[in-house]
């Protein structure tokens, strides 16, 4: 039998607390996904079908057709054209912010003010000041702020991290990470002042991987960028780069390297290599599946991973589940605002390095962060 108790709190107008026979908390966290585009729909589908103890209660998107299509697919009755209306909905306990990056700060600040817990997609924001505002707002409101670095929830990445921590390859000396995306960028990404370029949109994940595996901050970068595959962007966007190579120095002198590319066509490529004092570890899968064909025409052939959606399907589910569990158990997210902030700091330093053709120090100090040590 289920007991139902209505409780009020400063943050939620009414939480319906459900208790099972053994007194366990059966309350579902009401979730609204803000931004129903490519990444938003991954989260929305997860919250609709695969995340336990959560309910997708609403969707929000400024584009009417996108919103309607998402509502129809997921059979979600409530859709908001203006995300601020979603924040006023008392059934919404938490939001997933999956709008274009330039809007993350605005939406997260409003969500915190409305007392909603936040899972914000990477890159966290456009610069570190925006990140500091977001961390401060969530800290002051007492809501969770988790950042969408889902590789930290991928089984293989987690296993590698664990084995490295156990000393299998000695001390970590160098962390190399690459991400290559298959698609031609959308128009807004060509303007690196609007998008922060591939370093932000594609390589944020690699920056986080470097920090995570080295367990240290990146303090200096030297990046080279160039446009080799997107001739359509050369004239209007001379600063745009579709390929980037970035050397990183950690605070204690250890080394990192990031290789980024967009518009590669051949597939979605995401791999890491960690060099230690007594060995090396490789992480990342290239094969779409385990089928290997061999023909007289093509030789040995195996399809390459096509998309981040398929490569990290389970990592996104685990990330979304952990967000809900953090809220329910009132514990800190595994990937915090400060992790998002440090990746943004490295992105900004990398873009400066490309423009100035020189090594650049990473802005590591926070401007005004009142987190109570929790964000």
CA distance 369 to 140: 10
Identify which of residues 151 and 254 has a Cβ nearer to ligand NAD in the complex. Answer: 151
8-state DSSP, 244: E
- Pick from 148, 182, 225, 267: which binds ligand NAD (CB under 6 A)? 148
* Dihedral sign for Cα atoms in the order 111, 117, 119, 120: positive
String marking each residue 156-195 x if it binds ligand NAD according to CB under 6 A: ----------------------------------------
Name the helix (H) or strand (E) containing 117.
strand 117-120
- Pick from 12, 28, 30, 35: which binds ligand NAD (CB under 6 A)? 35
Identify which of residues 174 and 340 has a Cβ nearer to ligand NAD in the complex. Answer: 340
Q: Does 150 bind ligand NAD (CB under 6 A)?
A: yes
Structure tokens given for 7 = 């409780």
Q: Does 130 bind ligand NAD (CB under 6 A)?
A: no
Burial (CB < 10 A; 0-12, 13-18, 19+), residue 14, is exposed
CA distance 217 to 200: 17
Q: Does 125 bind ligand NAD (CB under 6 A)?
A: no
- Pick from 15, 44, 93, 121: which binds ligand NAD (CB under 6 A)? 121
String marking each residue 49-78 x if it binds ligand NAD according to CB under 6 A: -----------xxxx--x------------
Q: Does 322 bind ligand NAD (CB under 6 A)?
A: no
Farthest-apart Cα atoms in the chain, separation: 70
Identify which of residues 34 and 108 has a Cβ nearer to ligand NAD in the complex. Answer: 34
Contacts of residue 294, Cβ cutoff 8 Å, sequence gap at least 6: 300, 301
CA 44 to chain centre: 15
Binding residues for ligand NAD, rule: CB under 6 A, are 34-40, 60-63, 66, 83, 98-101, 103, 121-123, 148, 150, 201, 308
């Amino acid at each position: 039998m289920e007991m139902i108790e209505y409780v009020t709190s400063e943050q939620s107008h009414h939480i319906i607390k459900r208790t099972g026979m053994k007194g366990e908390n059966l309350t579902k966290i009401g979730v609204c996904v803000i931004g129903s585009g490519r990444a938003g729909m991954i989260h929305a589908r997860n919250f609709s079908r695969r995340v336990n103890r959560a309910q997708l209660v609403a969707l929000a998107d400024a584009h009417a057709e996108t919103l309607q299509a998402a509502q129809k697919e997921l059979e979600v009755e409530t859709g908001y054209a203006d995300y601020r209306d979603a924040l006023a909905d008392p059934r919404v306990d938490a939001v997933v912010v999956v709008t274009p990056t330039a809007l993350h700060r605005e939406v997260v600040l409003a969500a915190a003010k409305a007392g909603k817990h936040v899972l914000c997609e990477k890159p966290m924001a456009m610069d570190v000041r925006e990140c500091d505002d977001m961390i401060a707002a969530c800290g002051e409101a007492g809501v969770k702020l988790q950042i969408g670095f889902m590789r930290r929830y991928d089984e293989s990445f987690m296993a590698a991290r664990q084995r490295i921590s156990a000393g299998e390859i000695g001390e970590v000396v160098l962390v190399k990470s690459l991400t290559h995306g298959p698609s031609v960028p959308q128009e807004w990404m060509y303007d690196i002042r609007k998008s922060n370029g591939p370093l932000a949109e594609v390589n944020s994940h690699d920056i986080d991987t470097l920090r995570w595996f080295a367990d240290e901050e990146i303090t200096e970068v030297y990046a080279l960028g160039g446009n080799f595959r997107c001739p359509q962007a050369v004239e209007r966007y001379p600063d745009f780069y579709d390929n980037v190579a970035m050397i990183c120095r950690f605070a204690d002198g250890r080394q990192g390297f990031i290789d980024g590319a967009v518009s590669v066509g051949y597939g979605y490529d995401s791999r890491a290599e960690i060099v230690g004092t007594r060995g090396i570890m490789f992480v990342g899968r290239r094969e779409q599946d385990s089928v290997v064909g061999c023909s007289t025409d093509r030789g040995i052939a195996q399809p390459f991973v096509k998309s981040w959606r398929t490569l990290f399907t389970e990592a996104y589910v685990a990330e979304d589940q952990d967000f809900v569990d953090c809220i329910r158990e009132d514990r800190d997210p595994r990937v915090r605002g400060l992790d998002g902030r440090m990746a943004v700091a490295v992105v900004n330093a990398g873009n400066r390095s490309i423009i100035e053709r020189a090594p650049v120090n990473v802005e590591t100090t926070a401007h005004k962060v009142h987190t109570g040590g929790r964000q």
